[in-house]
């Protein structure tokens, strides 16, 4: 009987087989930078800025869905397509600045891992950064995509469970106010900087490159139109599901901050953890630190993959952990991030490092977005699957809106 049960194959719905690429990208949506913005939003303005999470999720889903189509239809990632279809000087400029943006992203992600280790084990940030960076490089070089995907899914699940536990510890949440805030925007002059930071921090260049790469892990047959259409349909479901999960996790962070920390001015992760302990107990503080550590490590892994993919694309190659170009891209991304953290944390507040890393992303992001729109709107690149007119309008409107937000964020930071 046991053998019969063992031999019997339980059918798995096609959709569940396809879950994974979107979740890897969604990790960038719940990275340490987003945690900082969400805690600041909830602690200063209560539930009022939950609508920012809803709007940012919609913007992210539009852009990620579009770039995933590029990977499915062409069988090449965005970095490879940029090298092939753009003039050499423009492609080099785009990809070199994208690598710099990936390093900037990795600074925030690796720093998040270091902060998590500091909160849990009181390690110096410099030691935590070296440990996190070393772990990420070792993990990426020793494991294939399928193993990485499973680990990332595990991390996302643990982050979600941890935040659900935090919500259960909160004595009272005003769900009526939260439901209204999710759909009704409220903007004040005081909240404008946080709104700009939260919206501008969601869409990141490295995630757009990464999604077009990891979507090819399913190894579909590009010669069969039926298969392509099926993959396009399942990609949409995977992206929507993953972005919704990111919406839930980000909303949970604001809900906890609004219910427990409001109306304190909290702009520091370690400060948030210290405030949670006397209010919700020591268990809450530990769970918070564990979830933050998982977010830092998981997002560092995806930042390293993105850097490897972008660098390999310069040589018209896909990401491959065994390829020297991909490995060098990972080393450059994570290694540079660790060195920057070691150098800056002696003289700069970690929260300021997170802010400045976002500024560098903001400068590069419009370049990536409009290159993506050019590629996915080109019949030469996409054939009959190019963007239709209304899709192009939506993408351009989203790209312009995100670009304006990021320009404002840069100006605010320098002022």
| Domain residue spans of the chain | 16-414
Task: Give buried/exposed letters for 348-387 (b at 16+ CB in 10 A, else e).
Answer: eebbebbbbbbbbbbbbbbbbbbbbbebbbeeebbeebbb
How many other β-carbons are positioned within 10 Å of the β-carbon of residue 334? Answer: 30
Number of H helices, E strands in the chain: 20, 0
Mean pLDDT of 282-289: 85
In the chain the first and final C-alpha atoms are separated, in Å, by 72
Which of 66-80, 93-107, 166-180, 256-270 is the least confident region? 256-270
Q: 168 pLDDT exceeds 50?
A: yes
Phi/psi at 206 (nearest 5 deg)? -65, -30
Of 326 and 220, which is predicted with more confidence? 326
Closest CA to 210 of 64, 112, 379, 339: 64
Closest CA to 20 of 161, 164, 216, 202: 216
Q: 359 pLDDT exceeds 80?
A: no
Q: Quick one: residue 188, left, alpha or beta (phi over 0 = left, psi -120 to 50 = alpha)?
A: beta
What would the pLDDT profile of 99-131 be if each residue is shown by its tens digit? 999 999 999 899 999 999 999 998 999 999 999
Q: 4 pLDDT exceeds 70?
A: no
Q: How far apart are CA 168 and CA 255, in angstroms?
A: 11
- Tell me how long the chain is: 415
Q: 7 pLDDT exceeds 60?
A: no
Rounded to two decimals, the pTM is 0.89
Q: How far apart are CA 163 and CA 155, in angstroms?
A: 12
CATH superfamily of 16-414: Amino acid/polyamine transporter I (1.20.1740.10)
How many other β-carbons are positioned within 10 Å of the β-carbon of residue 397? Answer: 12
């Amino acid at each position: 009987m046991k053998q019969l049960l063992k031999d019997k194959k339980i059918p798995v719905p096609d959709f569940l087989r396809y879950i994974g690429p979107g979740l890897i990208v969604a990790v960038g949506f719940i990275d340490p930078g987003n945690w900082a913005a969400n805690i600041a939003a909830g602690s200063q303005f209560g539930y009022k800025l939950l609508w920012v999470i809803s709007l940012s999720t919609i913007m992210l889903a539009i852009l990620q869905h579009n770039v995933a189509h590029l990977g499915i239809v062409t069988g090449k990632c965005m970095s490879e397509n940029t090298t092939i279809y753009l003039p050499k000087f423009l492609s080099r400029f785009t990809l070199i600045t994208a690598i710099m943006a990936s390093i900037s992203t990795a600074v925030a992600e690796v720093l998040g891992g270091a902060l998590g280790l500091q909160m849990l084990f009181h390690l110096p940030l410099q030691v935590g950064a070296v440990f996190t960076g070393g772990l990420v490089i070792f993990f990426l070089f020793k494991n294939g995509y399928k193993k990485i995907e499973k680990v990332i899914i595990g991390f996302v699940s643990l982050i979600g469970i941890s935040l659900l536990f935090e919500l259960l510890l909160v004595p009272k949440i005003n769900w009526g106010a939260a439901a209204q805030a999710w759909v009704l925007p409220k903007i004040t002059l005081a909240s404008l900087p946080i709104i700009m930071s939260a919206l501008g921090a969601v869409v990141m260049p490295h995630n757009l490159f990464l999604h077009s790469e990891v979507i090819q892990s399913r190894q579909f047959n590009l010669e069969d139109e039926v298969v392509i259409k099926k993959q396009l349909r399942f990609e949409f479901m995977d992206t929507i599901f993953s972005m919704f999960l990111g919406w839930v996790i980000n909303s949970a962070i604001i809900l906890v901050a609004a219910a427990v920390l409001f109306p304190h001015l909290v702009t520091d992760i370690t400060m948030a953890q210290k405030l949670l302990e006397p209010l919700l107990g020591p268990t809450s503080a530990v769970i918070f630190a564990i979830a933050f550590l998982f977010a830092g490590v998981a997002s560092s892994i995806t930042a390293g993959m993105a850097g490897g993919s972008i660098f390999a694309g310069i040589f018209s190659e896909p990401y491959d952990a065994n390829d020297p170009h991909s490995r060098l891209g990972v080393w450059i991304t994570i290694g540079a991030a660790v060195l920057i953290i070691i150098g800056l944390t002696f003289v700069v507040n970690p929260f300021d490092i997170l802010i400045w890393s976002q500024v560098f992303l903001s400068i590069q992001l419009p370049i990536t977005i409009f290159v993506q729109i050019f590629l996915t709107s080109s019949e030469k690149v996409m054939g009959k699957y190019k963007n239709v007119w209304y899709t192009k309008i939506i993408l351009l409107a989203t790209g312009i809106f995100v670009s304006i937000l990021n320009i404002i964020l840069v100006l605010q930071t320098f002022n």
